[in-house]
């Protein structure tokens, strides 16, 4: 997120997390435990006093069964208003969110810094990711079977298990990422 976790964007993300958690009747402790993060980290995120990483937000979104953009963007807001967030290697930029019956799609561009392996936690059941590399070479996919994806190549995987992103070589890699998330009936 922003460098200042108490920023307006950080507070808004925390409020969305809290609102979704309470709507599902889940305690702070239960959500933290299920997401594999500390209770103090989750509390700080909800109160806007902790800076969240992309990995933390994906873990929380996965447990809540929502796309990560549900935490980063108010419903109906334009993609440019998405709270800035980055992972250990990945910096995403949301292009659009669109819906079809029973499914939400998030279309993003991502930049992946070289020299760092980003491990992303499992998303909600049924989520798939579809990656097309634009520049550089990526190793991406399920943590137990990542693929090498060169410019112009596509790779898709079930993202309801741990997965990884890594730019190979010395240059930053860029890609287009489509995340397909089933919506509860």
Least confident of 53-62, 111-120, 127-136: 53-62
- CA gyration radius for the chain? 16
Q: What is the sign, positive or negative, of the torsion defined by CA atoms of 4, 12, 87, 153? A: negative
Whether residue 64 sits in one domain with residue 19: yes
Whether residue 158 sits in one domain with residue 136: yes
pLDDT for residue 185: 62
Average pLDDT over every residue of 45-66: 89
Q: Report the distance separating Cα 110 and Cα 48, nearest Å.
A: 25
Whether residue 115 sits in one domain with residue 156: yes
Whether residue 102 sits in one domain with residue 21: no
Whether residue 115 sits in one domain with residue 39: no
Q: Report the distance separating Cα 25 and Cα 71, nearest Å.
A: 17
Number of domains in the chain: 2
pLDDT for residue 74: 86
| Structural domain includes residue 170 | yes
pLDDT for residue 67: 87
| Structural domain includes residue 2 | no
pLDDT digits (tens, 9 = 90+) for 169-179: 999 999 999 99
Q: Please give the residue range of the domain that contains residue 26.
A: 8-72
Per DSSP, what are the bridge partners of residue 156?
A: 130
Question: For residue 119, what pLDDT band results from cuts at 50, 70 and 90?
Answer: very high
User: Is the predicted pLDDT of residue 6 greater than 80, yes or no?
Assistant: no
User: Is the predicted pLDDT of residue 25 greater than 80, yes or no?
Assistant: yes
Q: Taking all residues of the chain, what is their mean pLDDT, rounded to a whole number?
A: 91
CB 81 within 8 A of CB 118: no
Whether residue 170 sits in one domain with residue 103: yes
**Domain holding 143: CATH number?**
2.60.120.10
Whole-structure pTM value: 0.84
**Domain holding 21: CATH number?**
1.10.260.40
User: Is the predicted pLDDT of residue 1 greater than 70, yes or no?
Assistant: no
Last residue of a domain, one of 72, 100, 115: 72
| Structural domain includes residue 1 | no
Whether residue 176 sits in one domain with residue 95: yes
| Structural domain includes residue 78 | no
**Greater model confidence, 69 or 2:** 69
């Amino acid at each position: 997120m922003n460098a200042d976790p108490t920023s307006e964007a950080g507070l808004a993300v925390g409020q969305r997390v809290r609102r979704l958690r309470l709507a599902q009747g889940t305690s702070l402790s239960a959500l933290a435990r299920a997401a594999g993060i500390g209770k103090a980290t989750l509390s700080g995120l909800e109160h806007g006093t902790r800076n969240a990483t992309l990995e933390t937000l994906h873990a929380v979104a996965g447990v809540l069964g929502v796309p990560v953009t549900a935490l980063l963007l108010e419903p109906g807001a334009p993609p440019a208003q998405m709270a800035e967030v980055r992972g250990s290697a990945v910096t995403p930029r949301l292009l659009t969110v669109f819906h079809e019956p029973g499914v939400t799609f998030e279309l993003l561009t991502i930049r992946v810094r070289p020299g760092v392996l980003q491990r992303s936690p499992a998303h909600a059941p049924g989520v798939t990711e579809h990656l097309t590399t634009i520049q550089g070479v990526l190793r991406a996919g399920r943590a137990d079977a990542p693929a090498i994806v060169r410019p112009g190549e596509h790779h898709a995987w079930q993202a309801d298990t741990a997965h990884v992103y890594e730019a190979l070589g010395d240059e930053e890699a860029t890609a287009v990422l489509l995340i397909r998330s089933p919506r509860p009936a």
